[in-house]
Structure 1
Amino acid sequence: MSLDDRKLEVLRAIVQDYVSTQEPVGSKALVERHQLGVSPATVRNDMAVLEDEGYIRQPHTSAGRVPTDRGYRLFVDKLSRVKPLSPAERRAIERFLVGALDLDDVVHRTVRLLAQLTRQVAVVQYPSLTRSSVRHLELVPVSTTRVLIVMIADTGRVEQRLVDLPDQVPHDDVTELRRLINEKLAGRRLVDAPPLVQALVEEVAPTLRAPMIALATVLLETLVERREERVMLAGTANLARTGVFDLQGSLRPILEALEEEVILLKLFGAVEPSMRVRIGDENEIEDLRGTSIVTTGYGPGATVVGGMGVLGPTRMDYPGTIATVRAVARYVGDLLAQS
């Protein structure tokens, strides 16, 4: 059965009131707080239909109604009007992020900002190496038999590895190796690097082959094949403040799930720029089915290099949360584009 506009407005009002008051919502309160243009009796009839259809439920006898996961889903899909951020909120985001010194600082600031603005758990994935390109590779001699490889990706991510060389390598040879590696790899995606690295070994002059093999081995093993992914988490204390989760019961499995980096990457490692909202039972991780997760991808321009978002109770301010996650992702993308 499809719901008419009035019943949809009643559902919208129930969701909004329940999120703001944290109390089950009755028909009398709805009529008093919202300009529905109908009597309490009509609202009660509409609520009965919404309950029969599974959009709201009565938590206990003689109480008002609360939205179900299905009700929240309809609200997000059809009813929620994304709140525009106020000028003050936009300035706060800009001020907080614009002073970032490097990529680590950007990620740390972003995750703290998301947690503060949404009052939820925030997660930010570092720009993924699998979606990054090489901007520059530096070879820094540490001794005559050891160099430091510093790889700077186009996303601002910096990776460093020490390489033990099989023999002493003169400074001029290190300079030549640096030139050859950058000529071959600069501007190329890391996922396309293995055959290029192999070609370096085959094409280099015989006198440079041994140190190039050592460099190529480290490049392939640590920067290309390992593809280490990292996430940053903030605001777990916000879960306890909501009053929704029982500290000894429902909260423990959620916190344990959030400690697993593999789970966080699965949930927040977005590969597309569109916003995604998973509500309650829509979450594939069983321990998180009492929560909602709002995620989006971010990156410079139209390129997505990582994901970010928030996790909180299903009773969350969806319009405000979606607007905040979207705005922060856009600012971080702009920062990466300028770096």
Structure 2
Amino acid sequence: MVSSDERRFEVLRAIVADYVQHQEPVASKAIVDRHNLGVSSATVRNDMASLEEDGYITQPHTSAGRIPTDKGYRLFVDRLSEVKPLTSAERKAIQSFLEGAIDLDDVMRRSVRLLAQLTRQVAVIQYPTLTTSTVRHVELVTITPARLMLVLITDSGRVDQRMVDLGDVVTDESVARLRALVNSALAGRKLTDAAAKVAELPEGAPKELRDAVVRIATVLVESLVEHPEERLVLGGTANLTRNAADFPNSLRQVLEALEEQVVVLKLLAATADPGTITVRIGEENEAAEMRSTSVVSIGYGTRATLLGGMGVVGPTRMDYPSNIAAVRAVANYVGEILGQ
């Protein structure tokens, strides 16, 4: 026999499902008609009264049905026993779409566009953080006899290109020596360690190359230091406007907040390790402007290393099971691609 607590949760689950689908307050009769709960309308009304008293649902106006509160959504999410699985066709489409990416920038752009399309929410992805990346290789390419292009490549696929004015002509042989010197000192090091090692480069350089090494080191430091303005990609912002009724008097605030990198980074701050889903609902969001939204986020990366975070932002009235499944699937594929 189903306990009264379990039955009340099934009523809450029905209210969440119907409200997400129909965008209208849910009445007891609709629950009885649409969901096979095996109880009478009177029992459902009693359960709804208990749920309202405990703060899980509320009545938006007199003579209306009920809608979930933030507390109700939280209970629903915490007790999700099943996350709606993606179909094999959806998984194959995700894999083929992302595998077609040609570089890290393309992976980020494709991921955020795909996530926005799958969830119909605002999608956000954080570039692999430099603090967890390792220098794979530093390439020096001769542009003119006195100018080089420095290309820093990390293990996460991040590529940073910068020009180095040497102030004097250098031979191809000197460029080869400079390349070998830089890579012997930096290749395989975490970027945080490499930044400190760069300062030591001029001291160990041959006298005839010292001036060039100083100039290269100065540019390298700029590449190795984190650049917050480059760390995020957003997509699907227009999706919020389709649900303007979910943001009474606050849609503009939400859109303005999403333009602030710091606010969005805080939304992803809870991602502690790859594969762990975090759901923050309404008032649980730190930024006041985002308290009419819910955020589903996850860390992506390899099994051993967290590279960054990604997720979706939308109204609290969102399809949590489907969005969680989509965020997890895209994160898994991004982690696999960058891990390769």
CA distance in 2, matches of 1:117, 1:198: 46
Match of 2:279 among 269, 277, 280: 277
Deviation for aligned residue 1:119: 0.3
Runs of 4+ with deviation above 6 angstroms: none
- The worse-fitting range, judged by mean Cα deviation, of 96-105 and 49-58 is 96-105
CA distance in 1, matches of 2:105, 2:277: 24
Deviation for aligned residue 1:148: 1.0
Q: Would you say 1:253 and 2:250 are equivalent positions? A: no
Report what 1:265 is aligned to: 265
Deviation for aligned residue 1:54: 0.3
Indicate how the Cα distance of structure 1 residues 237 and 312 shifts in structure 2: closer, same or farther if over 3 A, else same: same
Give the counterpart letter for 1:251 in structure 2. L
Q: Would you say 1:217 and 2:218 are equivalent positions? A: yes
CA distance in 1, matches of 2:156, 2:4: 46
Deviation for aligned residue 1:299: 1.4
Give the counterpart letter for 1:284 in structure 2. E
Deviation for aligned residue 1:246: 5.7
Give the counterpart letter for 1:266 in structure 2. K
Report what 1:196 is aligned to: 197
Q: Would you say 1:97 and 2:98 are equivalent positions? A: yes
Give the counterpart letter for 1:236 in structure 2. T
CA distance in 1, matches of 2:135, 2:266: 25
Q: Over residues 81-126 of structure 1, what are the superposed CA-to-partner deviations in whole Å (9 max), with x where a residue is unaligned?
A: 2111111211121121121111111111111100000000111111
Give the counterpart letter for 1:278 in structure 2. R
Indicate how the Cα distance of structure 1 residues 20 and 166 shifts in structure 2: closer, same or farther if over 3 A, else same: same
Q: Secondary structure at the match of 2:304?
A: coil
CA distance in 2, matches of 1:30, 1:164: 72
The 8 Å contact of residues 132 and 307 in structure 2, kept in 1 or not, is answered as yes
Q: How does 1:40-79 map to 2 (within 5 A)?
A: 40-79=41-80
CA distance in 2, matches of 1:6, 1:167: 80
Q: Would you say 1:13 and 2:7 are equivalent positions? A: no
Report what 2:288 is aligned to: 286
Report what 2:324 is aligned to: 322
Deviation for aligned residue 1:263: 1.6
Deviation for aligned residue 1:245: 4.1
Deviation for aligned residue 1:193: 1.1
Q: Which runs of 5+ in 2 are unaligned?
A: none
Give the counterpart letter for 1:336 in structure 2. L
Give the counterpart letter for 1:106 in structure 2. V
Give the counterpart letter for 2:169 in structure 1. Q
Indicate how the Cα distance of structure 1 residues 188 and 100 shifts in structure 2: closer, same or farther if over 3 A, else same: same
Give the counterpart letter for 1:26 in structure 2. A
The 8 Å contact of residues 246 and 317 in structure 2, kept in 1 or not, is answered as no
- The worse-fitting range, judged by mean Cα deviation, of 128-137 and 286-295 is 128-137
Q: Over residues 247-284 of structure 1, what are the superposed CA-to-partner deviations in whole Å (9 max), with x where a residue is unaligned?
A: 8x321111111111222222235443211111001111
Q: How does 1:113-192 map to 2 (within 5 A)?
A: 113-192=114-193
Q: Over residues 113-171 of structure 1, what are the superposed CA-to-partner deviations in whole Å (9 max), with x where a residue is unaligned?
A: 00000000111111122221111100011122221110011111100111111422222
What's the TM-score once normalised by structure 1's chain length? Answer: 0.94
The 8 Å contact of residues 135 and 187 in structure 2, kept in 1 or not, is answered as yes
Q: Secondary structure at the match of 1:311?
A: strand
Indicate how the Cα distance of structure 1 residues 233 and 85 shifts in structure 2: closer, same or farther if over 3 A, else same: same
Deviation for aligned residue 1:226: 4.1
Q: Would you say 1:307 and 2:318 are equivalent positions? A: no
CA distance in 2, matches of 1:245, 1:254: 11
Query: How many residues matched?
Result: 335
Q: Which runs of 5+ in 1 are unaligned?
A: none
State, as a whole percentage, how many aligned pairs show the same letter. 61
Give the counterpart letter for 1:195 in structure 2. A
Report what 1:110 is aligned to: 111
Indicate how the Cα distance of structure 1 residues 226 and 28 shifts in structure 2: closer, same or farther if over 3 A, else same: closer
Aligned CA RMSD, in angstroms, stands at: 1.7
The 8 Å contact of residues 301 and 334 in structure 1, kept in 2 or not, is answered as no
Q: Secondary structure at the match of 2:142?
A: strand
The 8 Å contact of residues 244 and 251 in structure 2, kept in 1 or not, is answered as no
What's the TM-score once normalised by structure 2's chain length? Answer: 0.94
Q: Secondary structure at the match of 2:245?
A: coil
CA distance in 1, matches of 2:292, 2:20: 15
The 8 Å contact of residues 135 and 186 in structure 1, kept in 2 or not, is answered as yes
Give the counterpart letter for 2:59 in structure 1. Q
CA distance in 1, matches of 2:4, 2:169: 78
Deviation for aligned residue 1:34: 1.4
CA distance in 2, matches of 1:227, 1:187: 21
